[in-house]
Amino acid sequence: MASEIRKYLSSGVEILKEDVNGLVAIAKPSGSRTHPNVHHTSSPKAIAPYVYDFEKECYHLPDRNALFVLHRLDAPTSGVMLVTLNEKVADAVRHAFRDRRCHKTYQAWVKKGAALPKSGIWRDTLSETRTASVLRAHRDVDGVLAETHYEIMETVRIGADSLWRFCLCPHTGRTHQLRVQCALRKCPILGDKTYGDFHWNRVLAQRIGRKDLFLRSVRIALDYHLNSQDFYFCAEQMPGDFWDLARISSR
């Protein structure tokens, strides 16, 4: 299944892992879209260069029924995503997501903001607004609950500023949730062109030569039920050398 899926994926998208049922974890690069923005169109910037069906949440393939996309990541966010060619597996995994039998872990570098405990839970109510083609989320007392567990894993100094490396585990899946919640605590994620510190984004880009968003889906683990059996799937893509800002800052 993984070798078959690989031929449908756009350049830069990698296969990480496959299970016995054909559930496949891929690594989405920063800047690649989960799907085109317009229904029944294709995009060379998407994870697969085929027409996407928003109702069925799948790509229509030239020689196969469909490539099912089981959840989404914002275009600037990199890391682990789940896909499959098997519709029954897609349904089972989506049920696991709805039943909250899935655990996602992200890592992010942020500009150090106001003092925070080493770990805790953020709870905000968020709403979405769209103007022209721009979608934004914001705090709203009448919005829906967004909940995230955070932990400060590391502190690094670059020049006169300090950065935190966060581990972020969202308990809900709201639009731009992690990016907004970090910004609300005055610790925006580096490289965030919507909610970030734009001056510091430019400074960092000049220093390391990269403009990517420093937010990555590093781990997805879930239990799903298929054909009267229970299955456990876990896939990881750790940040790697690009995220070693301690080393980068010492150059």
Range of weakest confidence among 14-23, 32-41, 94-103, 221-230: 32-41
pLDDT given at position 107 = 95
Question: Using one digit for the tens of pLDDT, what is the confidence trace for 27-70?
Answer: 999 999 999 988 788 899 999 999 999 999 999 999 878 999 99
Question: Using one digit for the tens of pLDDT, what is the confidence trace for 123-166?
Answer: 999 999 987 778 899 999 999 999 999 999 999 887 778 889 99
Structural domain boundaries enclosing 40: 2-99
Q: Which of 26, 37, 126 is nearest to 74 (CA)?
A: 37
In a domain, 56, yes or no: yes
Average pLDDT value for the chain:
91
Report d(CA 58, CA 54) in Å as an integer. Answer: 7
The tokens of 108 are what? 């992010």
Same domain, 119 and 203: yes
In this structure, are residues 225 and 116 in contact, taking their beta carbons and an 8 Å threshold?
no
Report d(CA 92, CA 227) in Å as an integer. Answer: 9
Same domain, 92 and 109: no
Report d(CA 57, CA 61) in Å as an integer. Answer: 13
What proportion of the chain, given as a percentage, has pLDDT over 70? Answer: 96
Is 74 tagged catalytic?
yes
In this structure, are residues 194 and 179 in contact, taking their beta carbons and an 8 Å threshold?
yes
Same domain, 86 and 70: yes
Report d(CA 243, CA 245) in Å as an integer. Answer: 6
What's the CATH number where 195 sits? 3.30.2350.10
**19, 53, 63, 74: which one is catalytic?**
74
Q: What pTM, to 2 d.p., does this model score?
A: 0.93
In a domain, 30, yes or no: yes
User: Is residue 251 pLDDT above 60, yes or no?
Assistant: no
Question: Using one digit for the tens of pLDDT, what is the confidence trace for 213-236?
Answer: 999 999 999 999 999 999 999 999
Q: Which residues contact 138 (CB under 8 A, 6 or more apart)?
A: 126, 127, 129, 180
**Where in 159-228 does DSSP place strands (E)?**
161-170, 215-226
Same domain, 109 and 195: yes
3-class secondary-structure state, position 36: coil
Same domain, 109 and 81: no
Greater model confidence, 201 or 181: 181
pLDDT given at position 247 = 64
Number of structural domains in the chain? 2
Same domain, 190 and 113: yes
What's the CATH number where 24 sits? 3.30.70
